[in-house]
Amino acid sequence: MQITTTKIQHAQLSKVMLGILSALMLPIANLASAQDDVNEKSQTNIEDVIQIFGNKQVLETATGSGFVLNNAALEQFEFDDIHRVLQSVPGVYIREEDGYGLRPNIGLRGATSERSSKIALMEDGVLIAPAPYSAPAAYYFPNISRMTQVEVFKGPSAITYGPNTVGGAINMLSRSVNAKDGGELDLAIGQQSYGKAHGHYSKNIGNLGLMLEGVHLRADGFKTLANDNNTGFVKNEILAKARYEFADDPYNQQIQVKLGYSEEVSHETYLGLTDVDFTKNPYQRYAASQNDKFDWEHLQIQASHYIEFNPDITLLTQVYRRDFNRDWDRLNSFVSSRSIDRILAAPETGLNERFLRILKGETDSLTADETLIFSLNDRTFYSQGIQSKLSWDSKLGEADMTVDAGLRIHQDQVERLHRARYFDMLSTRLVYAGQADEITTSNKDSTIAIAAFVNSKIQLGNLHTSFGLRVENIDGESNNYLAQTQQKNSDTVVLPGAGVFYQISPELGLVAGINKGFVPNSPGEASDIEPEESWNYELGLRASVADWQIEVIGFFNDYSNLKGSCTFSSGCKTELDVEFNGGEVDIYGAELSANGQFKFANGLSLPIKIAYTHTQSEFQSSFDSTFSQWGNVSVGDELPYLPEHQFNLQVGLTGENWQLDLAYKYITEMSEAAGTGVELAGVVTSDISQIDLAAWYQINAALKIYAKLDNLTDEAKIVSRRPFGARPGKPRQFIIGAKYAF
């Protein structure tokens, strides 16, 4: 039976969810009640279960590559930007955009970084993209300041989550309810009128635990407009949790409810600079971007239930709903067919010079062709569903076995209403041209997806193995209200994966794995567009010597079809939201991570972390494409925005109640296009060499002060030229703050 999203109301979906939950729990509950012995209540709680890697030992014997940034690592440099947080993780690719990480571009093992749309982004084990199936681009991202752990995993483990399994997944853990009453207040100020106010407090009343958390971040921006308009941002977020543990319950049942509201107003633009103007002043903004503004609101509600039927069988169920509304009013184009990226790429060619002077506000608009078109992009999203994971610990002969089985029923939707508004440049100001707004896009995409997985882990002596299978049925529907068309698509995919870890000696282990990678099509795509599919392989060594942990892994992603998605941020001006087949592509490389410390007799220690990634990519066929990042591709062409070398070094000096830290990042240049015949063919970004410093001092048990200096050398490099011209990363910024625990 086919169910369309227009026929399912929220109340009906809730009934379906509750019915499925009851059906899942009833036979298991009967099985548990039939058992004679009921064991003592365990200390496991919901936060433990939603972690991918629950503890250090699990990570050391994992059958796939993974990386965990714990709370201490997140507080080390006090980064608010997820890009900077992840720079110490091998196999992660970043393309900066606004300098603050407001709209992240994150890729894993070659999966494109464009709006983080090809990786599974999660908070507390739940997908957080505005519409993970219908419109996965990460225009929303939670405040990393309120997270206590970030988990990055690649390889066979990826099939447990999805829907995107080509690269891997990132799971962020929000702050849990503290078992002890108390909290912390974090206040900071800095350059660019930076300000942070972050506080949380937990209160326990019997078996009920409550937590309230709030974050305020702001900055006036590091770019300047001639009229001194704001180029910064303000972000606010409030989160509440309530957790109840049933008293004297032999099944250790727990219920947790999470409510959150967040908002952002940022005066961001897609308009960059010519290379010449970037060299003169990389932090200037042209007058045509003076009205650009992005604002959004996000609401989330999540309820979780955990039960231990016996010491070996547990069930975690999560019901979730997220609503996201965003408006981005920004410069789009001239009425003339002359594109802005072409004007900025060749500013001295023909009439380009005059159009550039209009963008700068140096010349007034005189003709209809010189009128500027602003796009008022309003989009409304929701994402909702229910997911359950059943875990069973058992024996298989002499081997220890754990089986995880899960089911997720998910629905998401995006509604787009884009309008064109017309302005003239007059005396450096944008003046309404008087022409009526024009609706350019009016559509709705929706998806219902049912996903199930089973993953077994078996340990026999020094051998750890995992075998998993994920099955998804995805039904999408697209309604174009302007063209008055409707299109439906459906796909069922089976994704296997397997991994192995063998402890060769107490110090050395071998890890290997294979899994099927998959990225589904968006609703309404043409029938000749194939889903993105790959076979992903990894092989490496994991060593633990004294205080050092080292991992070296080679990876090879064999794509049978790579997809390109045409978005405005990727440089597309027409055919927006259309996808393109890229055919066979090979992506391969190596990842190295090492962390340890040197301890000295005087009580000082020197912690060191190293991360390195080498990557190569090659198209395996020649073709001509209208996709802005490909163009006319030849065999052997490399993918854009995939650096060959990435290196990160973190060195600290730690005393009894203080610490100094230095982070050095190096990323080689990245090509802006794969082939020829497109605007940025043959153009590369700058290589990036950057140093960050941080320090903290614990005055007493309650009070800690810290200071940080981002981009010590104040390097200004071109991080991207998409969609309109060269844009810089964040300049040097000094911040000082204090944390008070109570």
Coarse DSSP helix, strand, coil percentages of the chain, rounded to the nearest 5 percent: 10, 50, 35
Question: From CA 88, how far away is CA 358, in angstroms rounded?
Answer: 42
Contact indicator for 679, 339 with CB cutoff of 8 Å: yes
What's residue 466's pLDDT? 95
Calculate what percentage of the chain has a pLDDT beyond 90. 82
- In Å, what is the CA distance from 235 to each residue of 45, 221, 300, 343, 438? 31, 13, 16, 34, 31
What's residue 55's pLDDT? 59
User: Identity (one letter) of the amino acid at 491?
Assistant: D
Second CATH level (architecture) for the domain 5-741: Beta Barrel (2.40)
| Residue (of 99, 104, 72, 62) closest to 86 by Cα position | 104
DSSP reduced 3-state for 49: helix
Radius of gyration, CA atoms only, the chain: 26
Contact indicator for 661, 88 with CB cutoff of 8 Å: no
| Residue (of 244, 248, 247) closest to 306 by Cα position | 244
What's residue 174's pLDDT? 97
CB-side exposure of 292: number of CA atoms within 13 Å? 22
Q: Which residues contact 212 (CB under 8 A, 6 or more apart)?
A: 200, 201, 238, 239, 240
pLDDT tens string 516-527: 999 999 998 888
Contact indicator for 78, 187 with CB cutoff of 8 Å: no
Determine how many CB atoms are found less than 10 A away from the CB of residue 217: 21
Contact indicator for 292, 267 with CB cutoff of 8 Å: yes
pLDDT tens string 392-413: 999 989 999 999 999 999 999 9
| CA angle (386 as vertex; 296, 207 as ends), nearest 5 | 90
Mark residue 427 as left, alpha or beta (left: phi above 0; alpha: psi -120 to 50; beta: remaining): left
Average pLDDT, the chain: 91
Question: From CA 43, how far away is CA 438, in angstroms rounded?
Answer: 60
What's residue 20's pLDDT? 37
Calculate what percentage of the chain has a pLDDT beyond 70. 93
DSSP reduced 3-state for 246: coil
Peptide bond preceding 163 in cis form (omega within 30 of 0): yes
What's residue 56's pLDDT? 59
Q: Can you list the residues of the chain whose pLDDT is less than 50?
A: 1-42
DSSP reduced 3-state for 277: helix
**Dihedral (CA of 122, 127, 133, 135) sign:** negative
Q: What string of DSSP letters covers 334-396?
A: ESSS--HHHHHHSTTSTTHHHHHHHHHTSS---SGGGPEEEEEEEEEEEEEEEEEEEEEEEEE
Question: From CA 700, how far away is CA 103, in angstroms rounded?
Answer: 37
Task: Calculate the CA 422 to chain-centre distance.
Answer: 34
Ordered by start, the domain boundaries in the chain are 5-741
Determine how many CB atoms are found less than 10 A away from the CB of residue 184: 18
Burial class, 115, CB count within 10 angstroms (exposed 0-12 / middle 13-18 / buried 19+): buried
What's residue 158's pLDDT? 78
Phi, psi angle pair for 672, to nearest 5° = -95, -10
pTM: 0.91
What's residue 596's pLDDT? 95
What's residue 43's pLDDT? 61
CB-side exposure of 524: number of CA atoms within 13 Å? 21
